[in-house]
Amino acid sequence: MTNIFNLPVELPNEELFESLASSTNLLIERIISTGQTTPTGEWYDQKRDEWVILLQGEAKIAYLDNPAVTLKAGDYLLIRAHQKHRVEYTSSEPPCIWLAVHGNLQ
Protein backbone atom coordinates (compact mmCIF):
# COMPACT_ATOMS: atom_id res chain seq x y z
CA MET A 1 0.00 0.00 0.00
CA THR A 2 1.30 3.42 -0.95
CA ASN A 3 0.81 6.31 1.46
CA ILE A 4 0.79 9.95 0.44
CA PHE A 5 2.23 11.05 3.78
CA ASN A 6 5.40 8.97 3.36
CA LEU A 7 8.13 11.39 2.43
CA PRO A 8 11.60 10.67 1.09
CA VAL A 9 14.25 10.63 3.83
CA GLU A 10 16.03 13.49 2.14
CA LEU A 11 14.01 16.11 0.32
CA PRO A 12 15.58 17.94 -2.62
CA ASN A 13 15.98 21.72 -2.60
CA GLU A 14 13.46 22.00 -5.40
CA GLU A 15 9.78 21.21 -5.19
CA LEU A 16 9.13 17.53 -5.80
CA PHE A 17 6.50 16.55 -8.38
CA GLU A 18 5.47 12.90 -8.62
CA SER A 19 2.84 11.37 -10.87
CA LEU A 20 0.56 9.05 -8.91
CA ALA A 21 -1.70 8.13 -11.85
CA SER A 22 -2.12 9.53 -15.33
CA SER A 23 -3.53 9.18 -18.81
CA THR A 24 -3.61 11.44 -21.87
CA ASN A 25 -6.11 13.87 -20.39
CA LEU A 26 -5.68 13.43 -16.67
CA LEU A 27 -2.83 13.65 -14.20
CA ILE A 28 -2.94 13.01 -10.48
CA GLU A 29 0.23 14.15 -8.80
CA ARG A 30 1.78 14.72 -5.42
CA ILE A 31 3.73 17.90 -4.89
CA ILE A 32 6.02 18.42 -1.92
CA SER A 33 7.05 21.98 -1.10
CA THR A 34 9.46 23.01 1.62
CA GLY A 35 9.43 26.76 1.56
CA GLN A 36 9.65 27.27 -2.20
CA THR A 37 7.53 29.97 -3.80
CA THR A 38 6.90 31.19 -7.32
CA PRO A 39 9.56 33.78 -8.23
CA THR A 40 8.35 37.37 -7.86
CA GLY A 41 6.56 38.61 -10.94
CA GLU A 42 6.05 35.11 -12.38
CA TRP A 43 2.62 33.53 -12.75
CA TYR A 44 1.48 30.02 -13.49
CA ASP A 45 -0.74 30.01 -16.58
CA GLN A 46 -1.85 26.41 -17.08
CA LYS A 47 -3.61 24.86 -20.05
CA ARG A 48 -5.70 22.55 -17.90
CA ASP A 49 -7.89 23.05 -14.86
CA GLU A 50 -6.24 22.05 -11.61
CA TRP A 51 -8.12 20.84 -8.56
CA VAL A 52 -5.71 20.89 -5.65
CA ILE A 53 -5.87 20.02 -1.97
CA LEU A 54 -3.25 20.74 0.67
CA LEU A 55 -2.92 17.66 2.87
CA GLN A 56 -0.14 18.79 5.18
CA GLY A 57 1.45 22.13 6.01
CA GLU A 58 0.37 25.68 5.33
CA ALA A 59 0.49 27.68 2.12
CA LYS A 60 -0.70 30.81 0.39
CA ILE A 61 -1.78 31.16 -3.22
CA ALA A 62 -2.15 34.52 -4.92
CA TYR A 63 -4.20 35.24 -8.03
CA LEU A 64 -3.67 38.01 -10.54
CA ASP A 65 -7.35 38.93 -10.49
CA ASN A 66 -8.59 37.70 -7.12
CA PRO A 67 -7.69 37.97 -3.45
CA ALA A 68 -4.99 35.63 -2.18
CA VAL A 69 -6.01 32.56 -0.17
CA THR A 70 -4.29 30.94 2.78
CA LEU A 71 -4.52 27.16 2.99
CA LYS A 72 -4.23 24.77 5.88
CA ALA A 73 -4.35 20.98 5.82
CA GLY A 74 -7.54 19.78 4.12
CA ASP A 75 -8.30 23.00 2.23
CA TYR A 76 -8.97 22.56 -1.47
CA LEU A 77 -9.68 24.78 -4.44
CA LEU A 78 -10.14 24.73 -8.19
CA ILE A 79 -7.79 26.74 -10.35
CA ARG A 80 -9.33 27.22 -13.76
CA ALA A 81 -7.22 26.83 -16.89
CA HIS A 82 -5.35 30.07 -17.59
CA GLN A 83 -6.28 31.53 -14.22
CA LYS A 84 -2.99 33.21 -13.40
CA HIS A 85 -1.73 32.32 -9.95
CA ARG A 86 1.42 32.02 -7.94
CA VAL A 87 2.50 30.31 -4.75
CA GLU A 88 3.40 32.99 -2.22
CA TYR A 89 4.22 30.83 0.77
CA THR A 90 4.79 27.18 1.63
CA SER A 91 5.72 25.89 5.07
CA SER A 92 8.82 23.76 5.47
CA GLU A 93 8.11 22.47 8.99
CA PRO A 94 6.12 20.46 8.24
CA PRO A 95 6.61 20.19 4.48
CA CYS A 96 3.59 20.95 2.33
CA ILE A 97 2.01 17.87 0.76
CA TRP A 98 -0.30 18.75 -2.13
CA LEU A 99 -2.51 16.45 -4.14
CA ALA A 100 -3.31 17.92 -7.55
CA VAL A 101 -5.66 16.69 -10.26
CA HIS A 102 -5.01 18.20 -13.69
CA GLY A 103 -7.67 17.76 -16.33
CA ASN A 104 -10.80 19.21 -17.87
CA LEU A 105 -13.10 20.26 -15.03
CA GLN A 106 -15.38 22.72 -16.80
CA quadruple 15, 21, 26, 28: dihedral, nearest 10: -40
Q: How far apart are CA 65 and CA 84, in angstroms?
A: 8
Q: Which of 8, 21, 41, 93 binds a second copy (CB under 8 A)?
A: 21
Binding to a second copy by residue 40, rule CB under 8 A? Answer: no
Is position 55 an interface residue for a second copy (rule: CB under 8 A)? Answer: yes
- Confirm or reject binding of residue 7 to a second copy (CB under 8 A): no
58 in contact with a second copy (CB under 8 A): no
In angstroms, the CA 12 to CA 105 distance is 31
CB 18 within 8 A of CB 29: yes
Of the pair 23, 40, the CB lying nearest a second copy is at: 23
Binding residue (CB under 8 A) for a second copy from 14, 17, 82, 105: 105
**Contact window for a second copy (CB under 8 A) among 8-16, 17-25, 39-47, 81-89:** 17-25
Q: Which CA distances in Å does 78 have to 5, 10, 50, 70, 101?
A: 22, 30, 6, 14, 9
Per CB under 8 A, residues contacting a second copy are 1-6, 20-26, 28, 49, 51, 53, 55, 69-78, 99, 101, 103-106
